[in-house]
Amino acid sequence: MYNFQYFDFVELFAQVQEQFLGLNLLFQILILIGLGLMTYGIFALIYQVIKAAFTLVFEVVKQSFNLAITVIKSLGVIFSSVFDPRPKYEVEA
């Protein structure tokens, strides 16, 4: 169990590098490819989360504007039918 306050990351990196360089070249290439794919996967996941968040915010704002436009149109129809400035003519049959 290490105390991270006094943990020597340089020594750990040197040990990992020594073990890595002691491996076969094929294993080194496979490990590097795996690390690259993991890094790509992490960044792709972060991209998808940010994209989903922006899409969610955009859809909420769009629906809010649609609701506001619908309410304004409805109020316009109500007020135009109540306060109709045109004269009322009686239709004679």
Angle ∠(93,88,76) on CA atoms, nearest 5? 125
Q: 91: which 2 tokens? A: 């239709």
Backbone conformation region of residue 89, classed left if phi is above 0, alpha if psi is from -120 to 50, else beta:
beta
| Digit-coded pLDDT (tens) for 31-79 | 999 999 999 999 999 999 999 999 999 999 999 999 999 999 998 888 8
Domain chopping of the chain, boundaries? 10-81
Are 80 and 73 in contact by the 8 Å Cβ rule? The answer is no
Please give the model's pTM, rounded to 2 decimal places.
0.54
Mean pLDDT confidence for 14-21: 84
Per DSSP, 45 falls in state: H
pLDDT at 49: 97
